[in-house]
Structure 1
Amino acid sequence: MTATQQGIWLAEQLSPGVSGYHDTAVLRIDGPLDAEALRLAFGDARAVHEAMRCRVIEVDGEPQQSFDAPAPEWAYTNLGPVAAQTRAARIERLTALTATEPFDLESDPLWRARLIRVGSDEHMLILVFHHLISDGWSHGVLLQTVLSHYAARAQHTTLPPTADTTAYRRWLLARAAGEQASVDSGRAREVAALLSEAPYRAALPGLKGPANDRLAAAVKLPVPDATWTSFDRACRRAGTTRYMGLTGLFGHLLSQTSRSGRAVLASPVAIRDAPGSAHLMGCLINVVPIVLAPLPTADPAAALAAGREAVLTALRYTDVPYRDVARALGPLTTSNDPVTNIGVEEFNAPQEPVRVGDVVVRPMPRGHVRLRHDLALSVARGGASAQLLHPVQAWDVNEVQSLAQNLAELISKAAASVTPE
């Protein structure tokens, strides 16, 4: 197992089902769906992606992966006969139950699916994966596999060719060896030197403190589409990406709001630099700490540049397990992230509708997320949006909305700093 997986496994032992490592996706399917073809397509995907056959067993107190988990039961619910005014509540309840039911890591498959028939040409598909076998990138990989096989099944044509089904296992072995080499060479201490004042805990207005339930809500940044277009233009002029630019602005806002010396953000990174790894489904991530020093002024260009430099510095250490960075910092007391209470992510799961024959598949907004940080900025890789995620119990929601508004104003200032192309 990789260090990331070992950390996830340990968290699951401490808080089964509520550790924050259930990854839920909801898809709306419009059109004449062939439900049996879809069920078979998921079986095909399970044959293609080794991660979907994974379970985790304990041997002498240590977790080990075994790739012989049984196929999950295909759950189907017909809400067609249910009164229209109660369907939405029933769908929400089924989604919550499907998303929160704990996995038996040793015996169960670590994913489940439920298809809900809403009407003759409308279905909802709920997918839940444990992060031990999935990450944000995997959403797109799985959807592409399932839909290509669904098209072949529904049209009774030849199935797509099956690629190397053991590539994920080989990636895991190589990654674990590389992580050990980086720790042995002292690179974890290099990162810790950048974080000498850790743990970083941003004290923000409205943050009440630790929450027993980490179920999160999202506050979308109130940024018009035209402003996002201008902001992306400003980022290009600065030689940076939207994610880097927003990271710089977010860090600047945190420093200003908390009046701290700097901002430290934990960011998950997809490790898909090996040949063929872009097509793998699985847990291929590490977390890197991004350190942003306070800016003397609110100059948007400076914030964008600071974000770029901080992210590039962090990405130099993707080979270093986050767990070992925390260990190198010394004894840290926290039940969640041992380095910081703030996160930032580039969420690159599919967001645009996909057409397969007469069927249209639409990803729905994320829900039933449990957050390990007190606050996280989630940046959509595609489309014009970003949002602040926060554990509901830990916050005065008005303060989160105020932070979202303040960040939106910084984005607008940066967008206005360049002339139209």
Structure 2
Amino acid sequence: MNQRLDDRRARLVEALRAQRRTLASERLPLTATQQGIWIAEQLSPGVSGYHDTAVLRMDGPLDTEALRLAFGDARAVHEAMRCRVVETDGEPLQSFDAPAPDVAYSDLGAVGPQTRGARVERLAALAATEPFDLEAGPLWRARLVRLSADEHVLILVVHHLISDGWSHGVLLRSLLSHYAARSRNAPPPAVPDGDGYRTWLLHRVAQERAAVEGGRARHVAGLLSHAPYRVPLPGRDDRAGDRLSVAVGLPVAQRTWTVFDRACRRAGATPYMGLTGLFGLLLARTTGGRTAVLASPVALRAAPGTADLMGCLINVVPVAVRILPPTGPAQAVAAGRDAVLTALRYADVPYRDVARALGPLPTADDPVTNVGVEEFNAPEERVRLGDLTVEPQPRGQVRLRHDLALSIPRNATGAQLLHPVGRWSPGESRSFAERLAELIGEAATASARDE
């Protein structure tokens, strides 16, 4: 009896190993989101808007060998870091055998303190815009910049074919936890399922195919009766071609953010939903329309184990905020909640196929709308690793695919408007941010009166 159980167990183990070997060598199709990114990169290599740049300042004694080994550990853990995209018979497929890059190194120790900042920005800009060789891989690069013995800056650029806003945080936390273990000769941290990302990819491709074949893309397109949606934003200059963007902070006091958060929760909304509604209200008032359609990336991480995966696990959904007179800020918060919940019901539907179902559309970076809203999940907090302090720096070198986007951090505080530098005058963008801040204040005040 025991022998039979041992034989069955051995056969099962071998079958699982064989399955893993097959999956490891298999070239997988791209999701619809990845296909759109791949096409954009063919048209505008390096400046497509799909390079994600993280800059970390490191103060204190840095173990450079431990950092190098930590990158190797992160690459071993996260399948996406081994991904490259190979075109076969005209179809892009992803393979997971890309080589490991060397961590580049620059020493600015001999450069005067007054010019170091500009030199670091220059290095970050070059790293952010240098095209990746998608076929050869890898689709990420890193550069360590030495400022002095106890001052370093790490520049990390990852292509969105293998990453998303959520993954930005996954990768940084993974890298730092492995560095901490290496520098202390401690056991490595726990890691996610080795085949989790590829398993997710296969499921997502099948889900997308079913959604399109089931007519759900046509259904979503039918909900967007006035698409394509183009906001004639005041002061916009369409002649400016570069998409390098600037961030404009919303002038909102911390106390107002706190009250606004309570207002959203009283309305059954998250701050993200509430801000989406207020953004839609401002756009509707600007255009005189009754609907604001916003492109919003959505994390597809409902399945167990996906929270710790790195990869392109997103879809974009059109969020249609309905603004009917006399909608005010409090009603707009509820409208944002309803719009986001409706959009999430169609997260399985590829955004690309929604655009196709809308019919002939003008050529543009986004064929559905020129405004977007995002929830940015990158770590912002300072991390202590023994005597070393690691602090994420503000986002830089963002190339935006919309004329205007609202970027909302996890706790909403610090929300920013992003827009291409050359397409808006500074005065107009500040005015727009001030008007949105006023709506946030009005929503908070109205809620406080009702308490």
Give TM-score scaled by structure 1 length. 0.98
2:196 counterpart residue number: 167
The SS at the match of 2:92 is: strand
CA distance in 2: counterparts of 1:276 and 1:211, whole angstroms:
43
Give SS of 1:319's match: coil
Q: Secondary structure at the match of 2:446?
A: coil
Residue 417 of structure 2 contacts residue 433 of structure 2 at CA under 8 Å; is this kept in 1?
Answer: yes
* Structure 1, unpaired ranges of 5+: none
- What is the CA distance between 1:108 and its match in structure 2? 2.4
Match of 1:111 among 140, 145, 149: 140
The alignment partner of 1:370 has SS state of coil
Q: Distance in 2 between matches of 1:28 and 1:308?
A: 37
123, 131, 138: which one aligns with 2:152: 123
Once the 2 structures are TM-superposed, how far is the Cα of residue 335 of structure 1 from its aligned partner?
2.6
Match of 1:244 in 2: 273
The 2-side partners of 1:347 and 1:58 are apart by: 31
In the alignment, the residues of structure 1 paired with residue 334 and residue 393 of structure 2 have an alpha-carbon distance, to the nearest angstrom, of 33
Quote the Cα distance in structure 2 between the aligned partners of 1:62 and 1:372: 24
Return the letter of the residue paired with 1:304. V
Instruction: Give, as a single letter, the amino acid of the residue that structure 1 aligns with 2:123.
Output: L
Report if aligned partners of 1:292, 1:307 keep a CA contact under 8 Å in 2: yes
Measured in 2, the distance between the counterparts of 1:178 and 1:13 equals 26
Aligned-partner SS, 2:447: coil
The reply to whether residue 40 of structure 1 matches residue 69 of structure 2 is yes
Instruction: Write out per-residue CA displacement over residues 207-228 of structure 1, whole angstroms, 9 at most, x where no aligned residue.
Output: 1225311111110011111111
Pairwise CA distance, 1:396 = 1.5
Partner of 1:394: 423
**Aligned length, in residue pairs:** 421
Q: Structure 2: how far apart are the matches of 1:403 and 1:218?
A: 12
Residue 32 of structure 1: SS of its match in structure 2? coil
1:285 CA drift (Å) = 0.3
C-alpha distance 358-383 of structure 1, shift in aligned 2 (>3 A) = farther
Offset at residue 258 of structure 1 (A): 1.6
Distance in structure 2 (CA, Å) of the matches to 1:211 and 1:134: 28
Given that residues 202 and 260 in structure 1 are in contact (C-alpha distance below 8 angstroms), is that contact kept between their aligned partners in structure 2? no
Percent of pairs with identical residues:
70
Match of 2:373 among 327, 344, 351: 344
> Residue 94 of structure 1 corresponds to which residue in structure 2?
123
When residues 253 and 288 of structure 1 are mapped into structure 2, their CA distance, relative to the original with a 3 A threshold, is same
3-state SS of the aligned residue for 1:419?
A: helix
Q: Secondary structure at the match of 2:320?
A: strand
Cα shift at 1:162:
4.0
The answer as to 2:314 corresponding to 1:314 is no
- Residue type at the aligned position of 2:326: T
**2:446: which partner in 1?**
417
Work out whether residues 22 and 131 of structure 1, in 8 Å CA contact, stay in contact via their aligned partners in 2. Answer: yes
Q: 1:372 corresponds to which residue? A: 401
Over aligned residue pairs, what C-alpha RMSD do you find? 1.2
One of 231, 243, 246 as aligned partner of 1:217 = 246
Within-5 A mapping of 1:288-307: 288-307=317-336
Partner of 2:298: 269
Contact between 2:295 and 2:369, CA under 8 Å: does it hold in 1? yes
Matched AA of 2:116: R
**Residue 257, structure 1, aligned to residue 286, structure 2:** yes
Between 1:207-216 and 1:68-77, the stretch displaced more is 207-216
Larger radius of gyration: 2
What is the distance in 1 between the residues matched to 2:287 and 2:235?
11
Q: Does residue 108 of structure 2 align to residue 79 of structure 1?
A: yes
Partners of 1:124 and 1:337 lie apart in 2 by 34
Say which SS state the counterpart of residue 99 (structure 1) adopts: helix
Quote the residue 2:26 is aligned against.
none
Provide Cα deviations, 1:194-244, integer angstroms capped at 9, x if missing partner: 112210000121112253111111100111111111111111111111100
Counterpart secondary structure, 1:332: coil
Instruction: Give the Cα–Cα distance (whole angstroms) in 1 for the partners of residues 436 and 261 of structure 2.
Output: 15
Pick from 42, 45, 50: which aligns with 1:13?
A: 42
C-alpha distance in structure 2 between counterparts of 1:242 and 1:384, whole Å: 9
CA contact (8 A) 1:221 1:386 kept: yes
Tell me the secondary structure at the aligned position of residue 254 of structure 1: helix
Corresponding residue number in structure 1 for 2:17:
none
- Rounded to whole Å, the distance in 2 between the matches of 1:383 and 1:299 is 20
Structure 1 ranges of 4+ moved more than 6 A: none
Farther off after superposition, 19-28 or 350-359: 350-359
Q: 1:155-234 counterparts in 2 under 5 A?
A: 155-234=184-263
Tell me the secondary structure at the aligned position of residue 128 of structure 1.
strand
1:385 and 2:414 aligned: yes
Distance 1:10 1:133 in 2: 15
Question: Helix, strand or coil: the match of 2:53?
Answer: strand
User: 2 CA distance for matches of 1:117 and 1:188?
Assistant: 50
- How far the C-alpha of 1:260 sits from its partner, in A, is 2.3
CA contact (8 A) 1:271 1:285 kept: yes
